[in-house]
Structure 1
C-alpha cells in the first residue's frame, strides 16, 4: 500500500504520462486550476452575445472559471491530447466538388467523447491504484470546462487566433480531454504563443467569424450554424456555407502549423459510410431511420435529422444547377416548416443558376451564328 505522505509526485507525474501514452493519448500535461486571467475575456465574449443560442455558456459561466466547483478538492487538471487526423483526409477533393458533402474531419468516424472519457477514466483508476486514495473526474466536452486555456497552461499548445489549440509538433488536428484530481502533482510549463503576425485563419474564414484575433463570433461560424444552431440558417450565410454540411475546417487547413499534423493511431476515427467523400444527393435521400442507423456512434447524430436535412438542402442550393437536384428537392415531402424553407431557398438558387446558364447558352449561340455569317461581332 502506497502511503500518500511518501508519494513522489514528480515520479508519479512521469508515470501518468507513460500511462497516458499506453492508453492511446498523444500527449499529457498537468496544470493548476487558476483561470482568473481568462475570466474577463469570457465575460466580454458573453456580453457581446457571441455565444449565439448556446445559452449554457452563460448559465455555467462561474463553473467554467472554477474547476474545483465541478469536483470539490480539485487542485490539478491533467489535460490529454488525442490526434484524429486520418492518412487520406481528402480535404481538397471534397471541398472542391460542390456535389459532394464536406463533413468536418473530426466527425468522420466514431464519436470521440465516450472513447476519450473511458480512457481518461482508466487513467484515473491507474492513478487511484497507485495512490490508494484519489478523487478524480474525467471530462470531454461533458461539463463547463475551459479546456483550451487549461491545455495551454499544461503545455499542450497555445490558443491560436482562430481560438483552437495549436501544438508546434502536431498542428491542431486533435481532441482534448481533462481529468480533475485532488493531488499536488508538479505542473508543466505553459506553452508560448507562436502565431506571430500570421492572420491566415482570419482571412480565410468564409463568413468572417473571427472578428478579431482570438475572438470568434459563433453566430457567424459555420460550425455553429451547421451543428449548434437549431433554427433557420440566416440567408446571408447560406451561400457562404458551400458544401459544408457539418462543421468547417478552413481555419485549420490554412494554418501553417498544420503541416506538422500527426496521423491518428485510433482506428475508430477512420471514416464511416464514405463520409469523407459522399454525394450530397445520396445523403439527402435518407429518411430519418436511415439517418439514425447510419450515424449511430457518430457525433453527427446529435444534430438530429431536421438540421441534417436543413444543412444538405443549403448545400444543394449552392451546388451547380442539376435537374437531378431540382427533382430531389421537389420530391422531398413531410418536411418541417424550417426544412421546407431551406428547400424552397435551394430551389430558388437552382432556378437562378438555370436561368444564367440558359442566358449564357443563348449568348454563345448568337456569337457562333454571327461568326458563321462572317459579320462583325457587334453587328
Structure 2
C-alpha cells in the first residue's frame, strides 16, 4: 500500500515528500507570535488571523490524522535574455503554482480514496493558514536557512511546498534528521539589497522586495527606491546567491514553462507593456496577483531610480 502511494507521488512529479501525524506546532508558536507582534508582516493582515489554525492543522480538517508534505521543483531551464530588462521572479514564469500544485494534490487525494482507503481531505498550497516550512522542516525535508527559506540538502530551495491533510492514518515516515548546513555563510543576508533579513532567519517583510512588489496595494515604500536591483515582481536574490542552489536542476513540469515571448521580452517592451500583451503573457500566471495596474506601478517605481540589474 505504502509503496503504491509513494510511486503515485513520484509519478505526479513531486521532488520529495513525507507522511506525518497531525499535531500542534508548539515549537513554532513563540516565533510566529513575536514576528506578528513586531508588525513584520506589514499589510498582510491575513497572517494575523487564524493563528490557532496555523499552529494546529486539526482545526482545518475534521478528524485530521495525517499530513502529507510535498515539494515541487520550479527551477527554470532558461532565464530572461535581456540582462537590462526588469527581472521577474523565477516562480512566476509559468502557470500560477496554486493551480498546478492543487490539481496534483487533488489527484493524489482521489488516488488515496480509490486505491488506499475511503477518506476525506483537503489540499493546501500557500493559500490557507498552514505553516508550510515548519511542516517541511518537521518532516525532515530540509532545514530553514538564514533567509527563512526551506533548503533541501538534495535539491536546494527553488521549490514549492504543499500539503494534503486527510482523516485517516497512514504509515508515518521517520523524519530524517537534517542538520542546519548554513554554518558561517551569510551570503543571503549580505546580498539582500533592502536589508530585509534583519537577523538570522528573521525577515522583515516590510523591507522585502517580494512583499513590496506583490503584497502592497498602494504605493511602495519610497525609502526603498534605488534598492530593488531591477526586480519588478518578486525577488530571488537571497536564493540565487545560496551555494546550496548549485544543486538546482531544471524542472520538467509543463505548467511552469513560460510563455514563448516572456523570456525574450526586451527592456523597452517591458517599459511599453500594454494590457493586451500583459493578458497574453500572464493569462494564468501568479503575476495576476498584482494585476496590470500593479505591474505598471512596479515598472514606474523602477524607472524612477537608477537601478541596474545584478
Same fold (TM over 0.5): yes
Q: Which moved more, 1:51-60 or 1:298-307?
A: 298-307
Q: Which moved more, 1:103-112 or 1:188-197?
A: 188-197
Cα gap change, 1:273/1:72 in structure 2, threshold over 3 Å: closer, same or farther? same
In structure 2, what is the equivalent of residue 31 of structure 1?
20
- Greater RCO (Cα-Cα under 8 Å, separation 6 or more): 2
If each structure's helix is expressed as a fraction of its own residues, which one has the higher value?
A: 1
Cα gap change, 1:161/1:193 in structure 2, threshold over 3 Å: closer, same or farther? same
In structure 2, C-alpha distance between the alignment counterparts of 1:81 and 1:320, rounded to whole Å: 34
After superposition, the C-alpha distances for 1:205-226 in whole angstroms (9 at most, x for unaligned) are 0100001111100000000000
After superposition, the C-alpha distances for 1:250-269 in whole angstroms (9 at most, x for unaligned) are 10011110011122011221
SS at match of 2:41: coil
Q: How does 1:83-94 map to 2 (within 5 A)?
A: 83-90=73-80
* Cα pair 1:153 1:188 within 8 Å, conserved: no
In structure 2, C-alpha distance between the alignment counterparts of 1:71 and 1:316, rounded to whole Å: 47
Match of 1:79 among 65, 69, 79: 69
In structure 2, C-alpha distance between the alignment counterparts of 1:104 and 1:123, rounded to whole Å: 28
- Corresponding position: 1:234 with 2:217: no
* Cα pair 1:160 1:195 within 8 Å, conserved: yes
- Corresponding position: 1:140 with 2:125: yes
In structure 2, C-alpha distance between the alignment counterparts of 1:277 and 1:238, rounded to whole Å: 26
In structure 1, C-alpha distance between the alignment counterparts of 2:37 and 2:30, rounded to whole Å: 10
In structure 2, C-alpha distance between the alignment counterparts of 1:320 and 1:22, rounded to whole Å: 43
SS at match of 1:156: coil
Match of 1:189 among 175, 197, 202: 175
In structure 1, what is the equivalent of residue 151 of structure 2?
166
- Corresponding position: 1:15 with 2:4: yes
> What is the root-mean-square deviation of aligned Cα atoms in Å?
1.8
Cα gap change, 1:274/1:136 in structure 2, threshold over 3 Å: closer, same or farther? same
In structure 1, C-alpha distance between the alignment counterparts of 2:131 and 2:106, rounded to whole Å: 19
After superposition, the C-alpha distances for 1:257-296 in whole angstroms (9 at most, x for unaligned) are 0011122011221222533342333123233344234311
- Corresponding position: 1:221 with 2:208: yes
The structure number with the bigger radius of gyration is 1
* Cα pair 1:165 1:172 within 8 Å, conserved: yes
Q: Which moved more, 1:44-53 or 1:301-310?
A: 301-310
Q: How does 1:21-170 map to 2 (within 5 A)?
A: 21-34=10-23, 35-90=25-80, 97-98=83-84, 100-170=85-155
Cα gap change, 1:231/1:51 in structure 2, threshold over 3 Å: closer, same or farther? same
SS at match of 2:156: coil
CA shift, 1:246, in A, is 0.4
* Cα pair 1:45 1:51 within 8 Å, conserved: yes
SS at match of 2:129: coil
SS at match of 1:179: strand
In structure 1, what is the equivalent of residue 304 of structure 2?
317
